[in-house]
Structure 1
Amino acid sequence: MTPDIHPFDIVTYAVPFFILAMIAEMAWARRRAPEAYEPRDTWTSLALGLGSTVAGALTAGVVYAAAMALYQHRVATMPFAWWAWIACFVLDDFNYYWAHRTGHRIRWFWASHVNHHSSQHYNLSTALRQTWTGFFALSFVFRIWPALLGFHPAMLVTVGAVNLVYQFWIHTEAIGRMPRWFEAVFNTPSHHRVHHATNPVYLDRNYAGALIVWDRLFRTFQPELEGERIRYGIVRQLGTFGVMWSVFHEWAGMLKDFAVAPLRYKLAYLLREPGWSHDGSRDTSDRIRDRWREREDGTA
């Protein structure tokens, strides 16, 4: 018999902390960094967060049912012991790294994730820019497969929520660097500022959720550099605070490319990296970085 266990909804309990932290950061920004907050941008972030919450509520049951279906075919049964919770968290964070990396390297998943990067500001409200279309993109498949190993779906949902709450505080410029030992193991504001940057040296780096060790292990780590001022947003900035355009612009562009592309290239416009084109007329992050390196080498 499968035990009747339900996930712990830590995100709901964290909402008061989110609100208080944003108020505190706004107070800091008024004195130290007035450009950190732009009212229209903040309202867009709040609207995106609300929409994501609604979308998640509408689809959570289906995702949980899918995880339970996998759990019925598990090869073992993990206990609800402390060590199993830690193992589940680490495994989920590993899965998050690959889901997040895929979300930047495959256009289909990028279309769902891009709204999180659409702000040209970096503050705690930016953390609320979560996907509306992750269910449609099937991003959840990266996170539920450990049910086959015997981790109860309630554990998977709970540790996933803990990971999400952890990532809230790293969306800030109010915190510089953490102690060296902490920076070596955990994702931090410094590491995540790099991830949100459009500077060529920073593109597609630091995919970590809670543990930066995955980026170090898989060679996608990039430290924040002194003298390299971060430019936030996406390579082709939206130029609008429109909520719907932020959510759906990449889906619209991708499907348009799919519709007009020659037959042999249609799937590539869905499954290749963002910026790829069959005629080479656009720039991927790799091409942007390569050109930057050539310029740097030429001036060295």
Structure 2
Amino acid sequence: MFDFLFIPFTTDDIYWLEQWVDDWFFVAAITLFCLEMLRYAFKKQFSRTLFGDSVSNFITLVLFIGIIGLVALTYAGVFFYVYDNWRITELPVTMWSIIGCIVLADLAYYWEHRFLHKNGFAWATHTVHHSSPFFNISVAYRHGPMDWFFPLFFHLPLALIGFNPFVIFFAEIFVQVFQTLLHTESVKKFPKPIEAIFNTPSHHRVHHATNKQYLDKNYAGIFIIWDRMFGTFAKEEAPVSYGVFPRINSVNPIKIFFSGYSKLFSQIRHAPTWQHRINLLIKPPLWAWEQEQKLKKQKAQSIKPD
């Protein structure tokens, strides 16, 4: 009955499937984006800022693709090198192994995503994705310049286990495609069993929130069970406020694309000590913000009249 799950796939099959998902999904995403804009217009929420922000999101995607074009061969080469020389076993390419790889790639994505929020250097690229004050499907394409770099370290163990690199790349794309669909306010909540197992727009709205009770929650890609298991889940209850603090307040795609590292390098340049500079690179962004507030308070107290 389930024999089809064991039918072997060739690398050409996986590559074709990957290209098909990539190409057709982008067409679907643009269609959904247009429908969302019509919804905003109908609800009288459409504005020049919203439109400009959305256009900038797609331009950051173009900039990101340009960088990917420069590093793609090196990125893929690392996976193939590890797979060819250090794999523990060789898993056959079947529907079972593809499904298994997607589940493990989703777990890897959870920990990668969590790391991006807990490390200053990593947050400097990921903050770009969070910096929009809006939440629609175009935000899913809002990328930073180093977004290609960090997935390598978290997904490389899949090659060590024995998954074919083509299967790993497909799994990465599948998780990202699923994630893209979550960036919408048009869908409120799904039935409870779906909300309990899968990541949904409601759960992902929480992740993009600046509300204190929502900070650093819901890192999941496909399965929200990872957040429930590892204590990072929060349910959408209070209305969500999107963006980062302080806000960029710009729809200039170049400024948006480099905003995270521009801010980080400025902080490093003005840091009082070398230890502080190192901490800016390795500690969570919340630490940097708290230190900034502390320095401002100390400065204000020092200039108070006697």
TM-score class, shorter = 0.7 to 0.9
1:56 is displaced (CA, Å) by: 2.0
User: Given the alignment of the two structures, is residue 15 of structure 1 paired with residue 22 of structure 2, yes or no?
Assistant: no
Q: Deviations over 1:30-82 (max 9, x none)?
A: 22362488111111111112222222222221111000111021000111122
Q: Which residue of 2 aligns with 1:134?
A: 147
Q: Which residue of 2 aligns with 1:155?
A: 167
Contact 1:67–1:145 (CA<8 Å) still a contact in 2? no
CA distances 1:195-242 after superposition (whole Å, capped 9, x unpaired): 1110101111100111111000001000000xx221100121111112
1:178 and 2:190 matched: yes
SS in 2 for 1:206: coil
CA contact (8 A) 1:144 1:153 kept: no
Q: What is the aligned partner in structure 2 of residue 146 from structure 1?
A: 158
Contact 2:101 2:171 (8 Å CA) reproduced: yes
Matching residue's letter, 2:206: V
Looking at structure 2, the residues matched to 44 and 4 of structure 1 have their Cα atoms a distance apart, in angstroms, of 35
SS in 1 for 2:87: coil
Judged with a 3 Å threshold, the aligned counterparts in structure 2 of structure 1 residues 75 and 156 are, in CA distance, closer, same or farther, namely same
In structure 2, the residue corresponding to 1:183 is in which secondary structure? helix
Distance 2:184 2:130 in 1: 14
2:166 is the counterpart of 1:164: no
Give per-residue Cα distances to partners, 1:181-202, cap 9 Å, x unaligned. Answer: 1111111000000011101011
Query: Which residue of structure 2 aligns with residue 77 of structure 1?
Result: 90
Equivalent positions of 1:92-131 (< 5 A) are: 92-131=105-144
Asked if 1 retains the 8 angstrom alpha-carbon contact of 2:159 and 2:165, the reply is: yes
Which of structures 1 and 2 has the bigger CA Rg? 2
Q: Quick one: distance in 2 between partners of 1:165 and 1:278?
A: 32
Aligned pair partner of 1:212 in 224, 233, 247: 224
Identify which of 249, 267, 288 aligns with 1:257.
267
Q: 1:26 to 1:259 in 2, by over 3 A?
A: closer
Which residue of the partner structure matches residue 200 of structure 2? 188
Structure 1: unaligned runs, 5 residues or longer = 284-300
Aligned with 2:62 (options 50, 70, 86): 50
Q: Give the Cα separation in 1 of the matches to 2:92 and 2:264.
A: 44
Work out the CA distance in 1 between the residues paired with 2:28 and 2:225.
27
CA RMSD in angstroms, aligned pairs only: 2.0
Instruction: Structure 2: give runs of 5+ residues left out of the alignment.
Output: 1-9, 295-306
Query: What's the CA shift for 1:139?
Result: 4.0
188, 202, 205: which one pairs with 2:214? Answer: 202
| Residues in 2 aligned to 1:31 and 1:11: alpha-carbon distance in whole angstroms | 30
Code of the aligned partner of 1:18: A
Q: Which moved more, 1:41-50 or 1:199-208?
A: 41-50
Contact 1:47 1:243 in 2 (8 A): yes
Cα distance change of structure 1 residues 69 and 224 upon mapping to structure 2, 3 Å threshold: same
Question: Is 1:229 aligned to 2:239, yes or no?
Answer: yes
Give the CA deviation at 1:279. 8.2
TM-score with structure 2 setting the length: 0.85
SS in 1 for 2:291: coil
Is the contact made by 1:56 and 1:132 (CA closer than 8 Å) also made in structure 2? no
For the residues of structure 2 that align with 1:138 and 1:220, how far apart are their CA atoms?
A: 21
Distance verdict in 2 for CA 1:279–1:19, change over 3 Å: closer
Identity of aligned residues (%): 29
Q: Give the Cα separation in 2 of the matches to 1:259 and 1:47.
A: 29
CA distance in 1, matches of 2:99, 2:158: 14
Superposed displacement of residue 278, structure 1 = 10
Q: How does 1:59-78 map to 2 (within 5 A)?
A: 59-72=71-84, 73-78=86-91
CA distance in 2, matches of 1:24, 1:180: 26
Q: Which amino acid aligns with 1:132?
A: P
Aligned to 1:290: none
Distance 1:13 1:151 in 2: 25
